[in-house]
Structure 1
Amino acid sequence: MKRLILACCLLLASAAGLAQPADAALKKQVNAFVDEWHEDAANARLAFFDKIAKDGVYIGTDKTELWHRDEFKVWAKRFFERKSAWTFKAIKRNVYASADKHIIWFDELLDTQMGICQASGVIHRTATGFEIEHYQLSIAVPNDVAGEVTKLIKEYEAKPPAAK
C-alpha cells in the first residue's frame, strides 16, 4: 500500500509540474548515497541491505526476481559471503525530486559484470537519511539485437523445467 501511495505521489507531482531535476546539493547527496550502496555490494558489505527501506523492493534482471528487502537479503546471502557480491559502476545518473525534496527518484546507466545495465530507483528522505523504497535493474539490450534476444528467451522458456 505504501508503494502505491508513493507511486501516486510521484505521478501527481510530475503531472502538477512539481517534479524537477534535483538541485546540485541534493544530487550530490543522492549520488554519494547510491554510489556507496553500489560499493557496499562490490565489497560484500551487509550495509547494502540497511540502505533499503524495511518494506523496500528490489527487482532484478530475471522475471522471478522481485523481493522485499529481507527476502532479498536471504536470497543474496551466498553472494555476500564472497569478497564481492556484484559490481555496478554508474556511467550516468539522472536525479529528480519532489518540491519538498522528500521523495527522490533516479535512473542510471551502469557498467556491470553483465555488461551495460539500466536501473531506476525511488528514495525517500527520513529523519536519519535516505532509504531506497524501490529499485529495478535491467540489462540494456540494443534494439538491433532485441529480436535475437527475444528469440533466445522464447526458446529457453519453451524448454521443459528439467532441461533449464
Structure 2
Amino acid sequence: MKKTILLLLFVTVFANAQKAEKEKINKTLNDWHKAAADVKFEDYFNAMTEDAIFIGTDATENWVKPDFQTWAQPFFKSGRTWNFTALERHIFFDKTGNVAWFDELLNTQMKICRGSGVLIKVGKEWKIQQYVLSMTVPNDEVDAVIKIKAPIEDALIAKLQKK
C-alpha cells in the first residue's frame, strides 16, 4: 500500500512539473513570436541559443543564428517583420526533462504554416535550439504548387547534386 501511494505521489508530482514546464515553453514560444511582431530584435534573438539553427520556408534558408540575424536585421530596422500566432501546439520532453521538441500550426501572413523545433533548458530558462518553418499545402493543391516551384527548384536540385 505504501508503495502504491508513493508511486501515485511521484506520478502526480512529475505530471505537475511537466505541466509547469510546458507552460514555460508555451510562454517562451509565444513571446518569441510576439517579439517579431512587435519589432523587438534583441528579445527575438535572445530567445534562441547562441548556436541555434533557423530553417525557413525557402530551400536555401538554413541559417546559424548570426546569419539569421544578418538576414532579419533589415526587416526589424524597417519595422516590416512577421506576425505569427499559434493555433495549436504539441510539446514533448526527453527523459531528462531538459530537452523539449514541439510542433505548432501558425496563423501567419502566408496563411497556415507549421513550425517545429527543439528547445533546451539553460538554467531555469527554455531557449530555442532549432526552429523549422514550413508552409502547408492542401493535398489537393500539391500538383499546382509543384508547377509553380519546379522551374526554381529544378535548378537548385541540379546545383545541390553537383556538390
Q: TM-score range by the shorter chain?
A: 0.7 to 0.9
Q: Match for residue 90 of structure 1?
A: 86
What number of residue pairs does the alignment pair up? 139
User: Which one-letter code corresponds to 1:112 in the other structure?
Assistant: T
Give the structure 1 partner of residue 131 of structure 2.
135
The alignment status of 1:37 with 2:32, answered yes or no, reads yes
Contact 1:43 1:84 in 2 (8 A): no
Deviations 1:38-69 (A, max 9, x none): 00100110110111111110000001111001
Counterpart check, 1:145 vs 2:152:
no
Structure 2 partner of 1:54: 50
Q: 2:119 aligns with which of 117, 123, 127?
A: 123
Root-mean-square deviation (CA), in Å? 1.8
Tell me which protein shows more helix as a share of its residues.
2
Q: Which amino acid aligns with 2:74?
A: R
Name the aligned partner's letter for residue 78 of structure 2. R
Three-state SS of the structure 2 residue aligned to 1:62 is coil
Amino acid at match of 1:51: A
Q: Secondary structure at the match of 1:109?
A: strand
Q: Secondary structure at the match of 2:78?
A: coil
User: Which of 2, 21, 24 is the equivalent residue of 2:19?
Assistant: 24
TM-score by length of 1: 0.80
Q: Deviations over 1:75-114 (max 9, x none)?
A: 1111111335100000000000112210011000000001
* Matched-pair identity in %: 37
The answer on 1:106 being equivalent to 2:88 is no
The gaps in structure 2 that reach 5 residues or longer are: 1-14, 156-163
Unaligned residue ranges in structure 1 (runs of 5+): 1-19, 160-164
Q: Which structure has the greater CA radius of gyration?
A: 2
Instruction: Tell me the TM-score normalised to structure 2 length.
Output: 0.80
**Matching residue of 2:8:** none
